[in-house]
Structure 1
Amino acid sequence: MGLWSGNLRVRLTAVFSLLFALAGGAVLMGTLILVDNSMDYSLNILMADRYSRLKPDDYEGATQLASSAYASKQAILDSMHANLLFKGGLTLLAVWLVVTAAGWFVAGRLLRPLSMITATAHRIAGRTLHRRIDLDAPPGEVKSLADSFDSMLDRLDEAFAGQGRFIANAAHELKTPIALNRTLVEVAMGRPDCPPQTRQLGENLLAVNLRHERLIDALLTLARAEDAVTERRPVDVADLANIAVSTTEPLAARQQVQIVRELSAAPVVGDPILLEQLIRNLVDNAARYNEAGGWVRVQTVAKPRHAEVVVSNTGAVISAYEVPALFEPFRRLTDRVGSARGSGLGLSIVRAVAKAHGGDAVAVPRPGGGLVVRVILPRALPVPAAPRVVPAVSASGTGADHI
């Protein structure tokens, strides 16, 4: 890894700095060799001139002159080497520092468009497909990359918007015939001459009809939860948990399940209707898929930066590898927890609502059986830009759905 790991700006600056250091060192060495050759040549000419002034038979004078000339020449070359290396090295070091700082600045300027692309990708991960890079730069590779990224976002935004419209419109279109069926069955059951067999059949049809209505309401809630949260108000999730528990207590009594409340003030900012639906789904699931004589514990906790809603229950033993499937739409554990009675959207809605509020939902199996679901909600919801607009249809009711 070494130099090639870590921040790209640091790596580019390091490469610029290393290349300049190598180039500067090569130039300094080349300069030293050229100056050395030039000085050696000049000193040789000077010594030859002095030799020419000696008498031809003055061998002693020539020997002394040669010895003195060699010592002087070596001293001059050594002094020149030391002076050039010292002053040239200091100059190279100073320029290297300046070039390194300039490389850091230039690398930052060159990588700024990539930083914008990265920031946009992070915002998209937070469900803001309406954002675009819209890079204002001359034509080039980075400009082409940014424009391609924007085009991809346009297609993704259209695809997700179309999916949301399809779910909302399909659910709305299904509500009308189902409501009509319920009315017709109730009218038929209300006749004085209605035989017991027809009444029993009508009750079964109403139960099936109710399940379909809950499924449609769950689809509408899921489609709404996967959009940006537009209605944001301060709300205490402890109050919402109280409402959810009170709504579920009749079901818990029929299931012979005790609900334990451990609620403390946990204020957040968000959509009260969606948050109440989230908690109601959790409590309803925990009570419905339990065992006779079991219990459900509902807790709300306030942390410095977030609030938590924790719902745990007794019940069938669930393996850790099966937990992720519980958060997928229409996935149910039909073999042990009897979840075929539900639509498989309960925990999908819980996680979608939590993520729409900037939080998350996680679950772990409880030792001995049951499940512990923890929902984490930020204390303050980030202010989104203009939300993705999906033509919505009115939906009456937000009935709880189950895993």
Structure 2
Amino acid sequence: MTARLRLTLGYGCFLVGSGAVTMAIIYLGMRYIPDYPLTAANPRATGTVSSRGEILEALVKASSAALAVLAVIGLGGGWLLAGWVLRPLQHINRAAVRAADGSLDHRIRLTGRKDEFTDLADTFDTMLDRLQRSFEEQRRFAANASHELRTPLAITRTMLQVALADPDGPDDRLLTRLYETNQRGIEIIDALLQLSSLDKASLATAPVDLAAVAAQALEAGGAEAAQRGIAVSADLRPVTVQANEALLRRAIGNLLENAVRHNLPTGGSLTITTGSDPSDEGRALLTVTNTGPHIPADAVETYLEPFLRGRGRTADPDPTRRGHGLGLALVSRITTAHHGALRLTPATRGGLTVQVSLPAGPRDRAPGHTS
């Protein structure tokens, strides 16, 4: 039994039931008519006057006919009314069928007055948007991951073939290159494993001073910044967050590494700050800002996808600036796992500002770190 048929029967039964109740009330009221012979009010009238029994009998017949008409009207009108009410569901069902067949580009875009059906259609369209973006990201991820993992394996195979063809055996440069290529593949796989584990495992968290963790990450990455001549400034105000310290340090380290490697060749700068989020007192805010080349606003969100770098999917020709394209993707996953928010904002003159907002924990009165 379809929903339309159930609604039709419901409308018809309600209409017939209402009519039956009305007729019953009239019938009960007519029973109070006196049960003695009635005479006409005009003595000259020649017609006969119906008795109470005849009136009640006629009322029952008329009521039966009226209920039959109401039943027909209720079922017919209920069928049309149910079809009109359920018409939006037909659009939603067609979109769901197309989505089940693999077509995610169709949208309902239900028009009309705002009601439960338009809310459902808008929610379904939003779900399709997210699914389409997710599937497209997964397809790009599979293609990029295959390319990234294939490259070091192909290089390794070539170098092994050269080594096997050399009668004097491999030289030290070949072995060093082979080791670096193998290490690159291991780093890629380790990063992928971390991305996968963040989607499944629950984090063991504890109160952590965000400023202290940022200071440790800055100390670890300060040597590379100094080597490249990048001026580093920090304003690390104490704020406690509930987080996994190792993952938080890895996220901040990745942000600093990106800020250093994607900076200006000369005269670059980097700024890192921590403290309470000005827009929300219950959250902590980490901000990393660096100078660098101009970044299109419509391309900045793609940086969060695995294997997509500032140069697209192409690795930097400078091996000291080369990355795997997993740094910001890992930062995004770590932030999400901590119920935080990550925002990337390109600067007008070039460079990037990354803000990580995390839920704040108990207040920490430890002194801040400023340099």
TM-score by length of 2: 0.51
Distance in 2, matches of 1:338 and 1:324, equals 18
Measured after TM superposition, the shift of residue 339 of structure 1 is 4.6
Is 1:222 the counterpart of 2:215? The answer is no
Measured after TM superposition, the shift of residue 223 of structure 1 is 3.1
1:327–1:351 CA contact under 8 A, matched in 2: yes
Is 1:327 the counterpart of 2:308? The answer is no
Measured after TM superposition, the shift of residue 344 of structure 1 is 0.7
Change (3 A) 1:26 1:287: farther
Change (3 A) 1:31 1:327: same
Partner of 1:359: 340
Q: How big is each residue's C-alpha offset from its partner over 1:334-369, in whole Å with a ceiling of 9 and x where there is no partner?
A: 269965621110011101111111223221212211
- Write the mapping of 1:1-400 to structure 2, written as runs, cut at 5 A: 26=19, 29-35=22-28, 37-38=30-31, 42=33, 46=36, 48=38, 62=43, 204=177, 207-291=180-264, 292-303=266-277, 304-334=281-311, 339=316, 341-379=322-360
User: Secondary structure of 1:305's partner?
Assistant: strand
Over the residues paired in the alignment, what is the CA RMSD in angstroms?
A: 4.2
Paired AA for residue 324 in structure 1? E
User: Secondary structure of 1:251's partner?
Assistant: helix
User: Secondary structure of 1:368's partner?
Assistant: coil
Distance in 2, matches of 1:281 and 1:272, equals 14
1:313–1:372 CA contact under 8 A, matched in 2: yes
User: Secondary structure of 2:299's partner?
Assistant: helix
Distance in 2, matches of 1:335 and 1:19, equals 64
Q: How big is each residue's C-alpha offset from its partner over 1:28-79, in whole Å with a ceiling of 9 and x where there is no partner?
A: 533444345555xx35x5461x67xxxxxxx99x47xxxxxxxxxxxxxxxx
Q: Provide the identity percentage.
A: 30
User: Secondary structure of 2:348's partner?
Assistant: coil
My pick for the range that moved more, 323-332 or 26-35, is 26-35
Q: How big is each residue's C-alpha offset from its partner over 1:347-402, in whole Å with a ceiling of 9 and x where there is no partner?
A: 11101111111223221212211111122222359xxxxxxxxxxxxxxxxxxxxx
Change (3 A) 1:201 1:378: same
Distance in 2, matches of 1:237 and 1:329, equals 26
Measured after TM superposition, the shift of residue 305 of structure 1 is 2.4
Change (3 A) 1:356 1:21: same
2:271–2:290 CA contact under 8 A, matched in 1: yes
Whose helix fraction is larger, Structure 1's or Structure 2's? 1
Change (3 A) 1:352 1:335: closer
1:266–1:301 CA contact under 8 A, matched in 2: yes
Measured after TM superposition, the shift of residue 324 of structure 1 is 2.0
Measured after TM superposition, the shift of residue 283 of structure 1 is 0.8
2:307–2:313 CA contact under 8 A, matched in 1: no
User: Secondary structure of 1:374's partner?
Assistant: strand
Measured after TM superposition, the shift of residue 259 of structure 1 is 1.6
User: Secondary structure of 2:273's partner?
Assistant: strand
Distance in 2, matches of 1:338 and 1:315, equals 17
Measured after TM superposition, the shift of residue 213 of structure 1 is 4.5
Distance in 2, matches of 1:23 and 1:283, equals 75
Measured after TM superposition, the shift of residue 26 of structure 1 is 4.2
Distance in 1, matches of 2:345 and 2:294, equals 11
1:365–1:372 CA contact under 8 A, matched in 2: yes
User: Secondary structure of 1:285's partner?
Assistant: helix
Structure 1: runs of 5+ lacking an equivalent: 1-17, 52-58, 64-166, 182-196, 382-403
1:229–1:271 CA contact under 8 A, matched in 2: no
Change (3 A) 1:337 1:296: farther
Partner of 2:110: none
Change (3 A) 1:30 1:258: farther
Structure 2: runs of 5+ lacking an equivalent: 1-10, 45-144, 160-169, 363-371
Distance in 1, matches of 2:289 and 2:37, equals 100
Distance in 2, matches of 1:23 and 1:369, equals 74
Q: Spell out structure 1 runs of 4+ moving beyond 6 A.
A: 18-24, 335-338
Paired AA for residue 274 in structure 2? T
Q: How big is each residue's C-alpha offset from its partner over 1:116-155, in whole Å with a ceiling of 9 and x where there is no partner?
A: xxxxxxxxxxxxxxxxxxxxxxxxxxxxxxxxxxxxxxxx
Change (3 A) 1:290 1:20: farther
User: Secondary structure of 2:201's partner?
Assistant: coil
